[in-house]
């Protein structure tokens, strides 16, 4: 099969088609999305080598459990061992022996086929298009914030970063009715948020107020400093960014202002699927272009350009 493989460089290669184990499924990948984590991995983040990609939708082609065959699915990206304390508590994303699809010791979804554990599969309702289903994983990351902290309608909340994730998180948090502000530096992206009824501000013209909760989703180390400037004493910072490199910070303001810092990663797929099925947030405006899989390298070049939103890969067509 064809796959987008990272070794010394990113290349389209022909590699063996994988075979699922007794607890897995062979998924024919229909469409996949390029996210900032993929771009950082190419730069060296996580030291990953292999097939990239973790945002996908596909059709189960083979499985020991025949009830899955023919179903359109997406998949949770953390593959736990199933035996440790974290897995027994339903926290496979924190399993010390986990692999992570296209990120950590696990071949990803930028390929014609991928193998996914049955326990990680989530059926995609017919009402959700392939292009929308690709967004389940990042929307779930936005939903995770609501599982970690309480946001009330009178909460003052800021999101730092007007990229794909920041725009999705802003839409998810807007559902709480909170007083929300998206901070970024791209007029096109901020205008898109404004069209959804979200207040916006340029990072060079920060609001004077300080916020109860600040979500850092800029993908840049500088975003941490901005978030720290904006959070009120005894407020909370949610860290969503992953990037290649070290974060240097002055811890004094965190101690003096008694700031709570919460790391936030993957989230609940069922909630994200319901939100998308009900049309509560918009993802179509975030798609800049869909490339055929044969143009995957050109798609990555496009995704790396400043100001680009979501780039999708059409890997297979539906039968």
Q: Rounded CA gap, 229 and 208, in Å?
A: 10
- Predicted local distance difference test score (pLDDT) of residue 242: 75
Q: Rounded CA gap, 75 and 98, in Å?
A: 15
Higher-pLDDT residue of 319 and 162 is: 162
Q: Rounded CA gap, 189 and 199, in Å?
A: 12
Tens-place pLDDT, residues 138-182:
999 999 999 999 999 999 999 999 999 999 999 999 999 999 999
Does 114 score more than 80 pLDDT?
A: yes
CB 232 within 8 A of CB 210: yes
Phi and psi at 207, nearest 5°, equal -60, 150
* pLDDT > 90: percent of the chain: 86
- Predicted local distance difference test score (pLDDT) of residue 245: 66
- Predicted local distance difference test score (pLDDT) of residue 305: 93
| Residue 310 token pair | 């979501």
- Predicted local distance difference test score (pLDDT) of residue 46: 86
Let me know the angle formed at the C-alpha of 113 by 50 and 82, rounded to the nearest 5 degrees: 75
pLDDT bracket for residue 220 (50, 70, 90): confident
Phi and psi at 167, nearest 5°, equal -70, -40
Q: Span 17-42, mean pLDDT?
A: 94
Does 2 score more than 70 pLDDT?
A: yes
Q: Classify residue 293 by its DSSP letter.
A: G
Q: Rounded CA gap, 136 and 146, in Å?
A: 16
* pLDDT > 70: percent of the chain: 99
- Predicted local distance difference test score (pLDDT) of residue 8: 86
Let me know the angle formed at the C-alpha of 229 by 223 and 234, rounded to the nearest 5 degrees: 115
Any idea which of 95-109, 136-150, 218-232, 260-274 has the lowest mean pLDDT? 218-232
Tens-place pLDDT, residues 51-99:
999 999 999 999 999 999 999 999 999 999 999 999 999 898 999 999 9
pTM score, whole prediction: 0.93
Q: Compute the mean pLDDT over every residue in the chain, rounded to the nearest whole number.
A: 94
CB 93 within 8 A of CB 266: yes
Strand intervals (E) in 9-125? 10-14, 24-34, 50-51, 55-63, 72-75, 78-79, 99-100, 113-117, 121-123
Q: Rounded CA gap, 237 and 271, in Å?
A: 23
- Predicted local distance difference test score (pLDDT) of residue 95: 95
The number of CA neighbours under 13 Å toward the Cβ of 250 is: 10
Domains recognised in the chain with CATH numbers: 2-135+283-314 (3.90.180.10), 142-263 (3.40.50.720)
- Predicted local distance difference test score (pLDDT) of residue 109: 97
124: which strand partners? none
- Predicted local distance difference test score (pLDDT) of residue 45: 86
| 255-258, long-range: CB < 8 A, 24+ apart | 257/231, 257/232, 257/233, 258/233, 258/234
Beta-strand relationship, 2-6 and 50-51: antiparallel
Does 299 score more than 70 pLDDT?
A: yes
Any idea which of 100-104, 163-167, 206-210 has the lowest mean pLDDT? 206-210
**How far, in whole angstroms, is CA 242 from its chain's centroid?**
11
Does 193 score more than 70 pLDDT?
A: yes
pLDDT bracket for residue 129 (50, 70, 90): very high
pLDDT bracket for residue 244 (50, 70, 90): low
- Predicted local distance difference test score (pLDDT) of residue 222: 87
């Amino acid at each position: 099969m064809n796959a987008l493989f990272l070794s010394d460089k990113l290349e389209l290669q022909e590699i063996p088609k994988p075979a699922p184990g007794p607890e897995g499924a062979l998924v024919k990948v229909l469409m996949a999305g390029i996210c900032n984590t993929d771009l950082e991995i190419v730069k060296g983040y996580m030291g990953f080598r292999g097939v990239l990609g973790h945002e996908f939708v596909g059709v189960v082609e083979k499985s020991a459990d025949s009830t899955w065959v023919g179903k359109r699915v997406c998949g949770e990206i953390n593959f736990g061992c199933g035996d440790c304390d974290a897995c027994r508590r339903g926290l496979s994303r924190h399993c010390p022996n986990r692999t992570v699809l296209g990120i950590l010791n696990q071949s990803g979804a930028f390929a014609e086929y991928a193998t996914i554990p049955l326990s990680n599969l989530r059926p995609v309702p017919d009402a959700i298009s392939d292009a929308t289903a690709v967004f389940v994983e990042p929307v779930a990351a936005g939903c995770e914030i609501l599982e970690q902290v309480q946001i009330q309608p009178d909460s003052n909340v800021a999101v730092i970063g007007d990229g794909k994730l920041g725009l999705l998180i802003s839409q998810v948090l807007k559902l709480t009715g909170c007083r929300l502000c998206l901070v970024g530096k791209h007029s096109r992206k901020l205008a898109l948020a404004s069209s959804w009824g979200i207040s916006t501000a340029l990072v060079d013209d920060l609001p004077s107020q300080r916020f109860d909760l600040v979500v850092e989703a800029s993908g840049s180390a500088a975003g941490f400093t901005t978030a720290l400037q904006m959070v009120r004493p005894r407020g909370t910072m949610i860290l969503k960014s992953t990037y290649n490199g070290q974060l240097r910070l002055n811890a004094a303001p965190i101690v003096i202002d008694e700031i709570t810092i919460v790391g936030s990663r993957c989230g609940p797929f069922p909630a994200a699927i319901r939100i998308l099925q009900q049309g509560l947030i918009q993802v179509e405006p975030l798609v800049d272009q869909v490339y055929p899989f044969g143009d995957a390298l050109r798609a990555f070049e496009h995704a790396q350009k400043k100001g680009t939103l979501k780039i999708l890969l059409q890997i297979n067509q539906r039968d």
